Structure 1
């Protein structure tokens, strides 16, 4: 009889079984790289890998890439371009795919899954499916109730559901949360129906479920100025709230008190990501097409003109050049996109160098950011006249308006302009996995779960009680957040 208590090493397993474990998809690119570096057995092909793969780990990374949703949606030429950009290294391709996927949702860190989103004067943080908030709670955007007007440190947000939070958005005066169950909760200023609870204009002070979406599982939300965009697991788009410029994509300018399906996407393809600006919207479909609608007063729609669009319209500049966009970010007056080869494009108003082209000229169509061609970008983030680009090496590039120090350059004045992408030296010693910027403050999360904030802290939006602002990244003690030690300061 076999001795079931006997321990054995992984080297005793058949090579094909080890390969199956490595290719299961449960390991990230960093895990595979670590195995290859620390254990000799993973460096060889063991006779089961094609000769073009130099190791079992590289072959496993190839298999995982082949099954990844972003990779499978790419044209064969785009797949080849990405592999070439990564120097033929499949582990690097996998790292790119996984980083892009996580950039618009929760990221895996050594202390758990996290997501950060910054609003006008507040910050929301997901840590292991719980939400914590700090800063100004004007209009109830923090979800702490009617009596709380400001939180000087991160404080846990309570939900009337046992479901876990997997995505959050809170860019202006309301917030939206997606639960693991697919339910969507909202809170904040509902004067324009952006919270989606029907003909109710009162402020929603605590997260409340959108009943109109009952039975429609969702996966992502994007909050604009008084409107909300919701992406379902099936790739459908629902919108509600203010529609003065057609930002709901429904073909008119009538406000909607409850989420309505943007039916035009039924014939355009499955949507994989949405983004909301101040009064305009982006939706990226599976084939890499960017559709924009709403206000075009700042050229943000990318169509070469300033005409509002009441229905989703594809940005032809990308299509003509066969550029497959994987993510897009909508700022207040400009936009930035990331393609399937890790290149970055900007357009809209060029105030303060927010487009990164070395001047303040406007761009009516998306234009490649040539100074970043040598870097593989995995996340782009635009907000008030500033832009951040995150690379696959965990480095952060920033440009635009310093605005209270919100670019993080301690050697620049708070009113300076950074006209071209410049690496954030103060974060070089950390591997940044996600970044979010608000009106005048910015928060970044590292792969080890550390959180750094910089910029304006007048309303405690950086989670510090005694400082008014940070010209350089300053750590926010997340551990206190997780242990629920943070105290919400009630005023008023």
Structure 2
């Protein structure tokens, strides 16, 4: 049984809160221990009138009011697997208590439905699209919730049993967030690893030191520079600043250790995207700032003038809130909260998706999505092509088709977004594009890949290092793991599993896979962090 100190406090339980677990404890008891600290309620009012002298009183989950249990389920503290476990192990959560419509099979089912409604991705869909998405999830609200959570985490940190993590690969290096700390491995071109001028290579994940104590929440890796977002919304950058892509106008020299971007000090940021020689910053208010080289209009300000410090893109600020950004070599992408995808910068290889190769100096909506009523949820910018994920789990590709990077069974360029029909039966949750290759992560943790093998970076053990895969094919080498996130660099690929393990495959010439004994890894090889 769990015991509550019956106090009048509205704040979370005081230190006098205590509990004990009997030998035949329920999963739901552990669940309550996990979640009770996130509620502000008067325990006296919830459980009994009781006298002040009754300092300790026991209760079980079955004694709790249904509305309180529902509030706990919707606290946001539980993963979908937690909800499923509760439903399987406790009749309290399996029942409907006669309070909900018959279409909901249980209290957990109803809670999952309510949580789906809180998702910005789900809320942006029209009724027909919401119904289609539920149908694609076999009418299962818990699966739909898992899909929404996975998509939202695909550009952020993912929840694993070892904590929240994020993996990002650059040209010859890899960045990792684990337990709010940032790590790097690989080649330190111009200080991109963040360990100082004396460090030219790290053969294992090595923790990055910041000038002040920070909790790192998001990271982006590019060719020669890196950007980090902290839990408080501050931004730090390091690497090659010759184009001022790091956001520091007072120097054009390399920045060997993370340095705060002063221009954004009072503007909380939630995401960064590093391009070849420019950087995008997405604020918590949904505004986009850019800095660096602007020769193709990739900064989105209507001209080709470089910006040494982050500057707000006024056009995007005037049309609403942006929820995700992506940076290619010389072009940029932004997804708005209504599912509109905007592109700007270099039109080479049709990466902007407008059917022509003309540069766009300002953000322009991709009309083919608008005309078909398709809401884009996430997008990934490759070197020569783009892959997008819509709000119902379908995948679209466009740009240069060389080596099968678009996945349509040929090497033909696509000038506008084209539905990847071979994956229409799959519910995709993350898309990832790089040089002539693409990965699609689906909701059961499987990974599909296509394009150029590139030194084994596509992950197919039965194909040569320079072979082409023209259609999506599942990575058998990863089937024993449930993959939560994937990232691919120039010639190497890295993944995070739901258990918090990190694996890499492909080129390791510069230790970008965190090993010093091999030049390449055809099979997924586990990567480790330095020992404290």
TM-score range with shorter-chain normalisation? over 0.9
TM normalised by structure 2 equals 0.89
**C-alpha separation between the residues in 2 aligned to 1:434 and 1:8?**
40
Match of 2:170 in 1: 119
Is the Cα contact below 8 Å between 1:441 and 1:455 reproduced in 2?
A: yes
Shift of 1:9: 2.9
Q: Look up the SS of the partner of 2:349 in the other structure.
A: coil
- Give the root-mean-square deviation of aligned CA atoms: 1.2
Match of 1:424 in 2: 475
Name which one, 1 or 2, has greater alpha-carbon Rg: 2
Match of 1:445 in 2: 496
Match of 2:41 in 1: none
Unaligned runs of 5+ in 2: 1-50
Is the Cα contact below 8 Å between 1:16 and 1:48 reproduced in 2?
A: no
Match of 1:353 in 2: 404
Is the Cα contact below 8 Å between 1:293 and 1:311 reproduced in 2?
A: yes
Shift of 1:261: 0.5
**C-alpha separation between the residues in 1 aligned to 2:223 and 2:435?**
12
Is the Cα contact below 8 Å between 1:137 and 1:148 reproduced in 2?
A: yes
**C-alpha separation between the residues in 2 aligned to 1:314 and 1:357?**
24
Match of 2:296 in 1: 245
Q: Determine whether 1:319 maps to 2:365.
A: no
**Which structure 2 residues correspond to residues 164-313 of structure 1 after superposition, within 5 A?**
164-313=215-364
- 1:287-320 per-residue CA deviation (whole Å, 9 max, x = no partner) reads 1000000001110000000000000000001000
Is the Cα contact below 8 Å between 1:24 and 1:64 reproduced in 2?
A: no
**C-alpha separation between the residues in 2 aligned to 1:108 and 1:4?**
38
Match of 2:188 in 1: 137
Q: Look up the SS of the partner of 2:81 in the other structure.
A: helix
Shift of 1:16: 2.8
**C-alpha separation between the residues in 2 aligned to 1:397 and 1:461?**
22
- 1:51-89 per-residue CA deviation (whole Å, 9 max, x = no partner) reads 110111100101111112222222222222211211211
Is the Cα contact below 8 Å between 1:117 and 1:124 reproduced in 2?
A: yes
Is the Cα contact below 8 Å between 1:117 and 1:171 reproduced in 2?
A: no
Is the Cα contact below 8 Å between 2:452 and 2:466 reproduced in 1?
A: yes
Match of 2:448 in 1: 397
Is the Cα contact below 8 Å between 1:196 and 1:258 reproduced in 2?
A: yes
Shift of 1:28: 1.9
Match of 1:415 in 2: 466
Q: Which of 421-430 and 40-49 deviates more?
A: 40-49
Shift of 1:43: 1.6
Higher RCO (C-alpha 8 Å, min separation 6) = 1
**C-alpha separation between the residues in 2 aligned to 1:68 and 1:349?**
33
- 1:92-140 per-residue CA deviation (whole Å, 9 max, x = no partner) reads 1110110001000101111111000000000000001100100000110
Q: Look up the SS of the partner of 1:298 in the other structure.
A: helix
Is the Cα contact below 8 Å between 2:167 and 2:177 reproduced in 1?
A: yes
Is the Cα contact below 8 Å between 1:119 and 1:170 reproduced in 2?
A: yes
**Which structure 2 residues correspond to residues 451-466 of structure 1 after superposition, within 5 A?**
451-466=502-517
Match of 1:59 in 2: 110
**C-alpha separation between the residues in 2 aligned to 1:466 and 1:36?**
48
Shift of 1:163: 2.3
Is the Cα contact below 8 Å between 2:61 and 2:92 reproduced in 1?
A: no
2:71 equivalent among 13, 20, 34: 20
Shift of 1:455: 0.3
TM normalised by structure 1 equals 0.96
**C-alpha separation between the residues in 2 aligned to 1:212 and 1:25?**
33
2:392 equivalent among 326, 341, 351: 341
Q: Determine whether 1:159 maps to 2:210.
A: yes
Unaligned runs of 5+ in 1: 485-492
Shift of 1:17: 2.0
Is the Cα contact below 8 Å between 1:242 and 1:256 reproduced in 2?
A: yes
Q: Look up the SS of the partner of 2:184 in the other structure.
A: strand
Is the Cα contact below 8 Å between 2:396 and 2:419 reproduced in 1?
A: yes
Q: Look up the SS of the partner of 2:68 in the other structure.
A: helix
Query: Aligned pairs, how many?
Result: 481
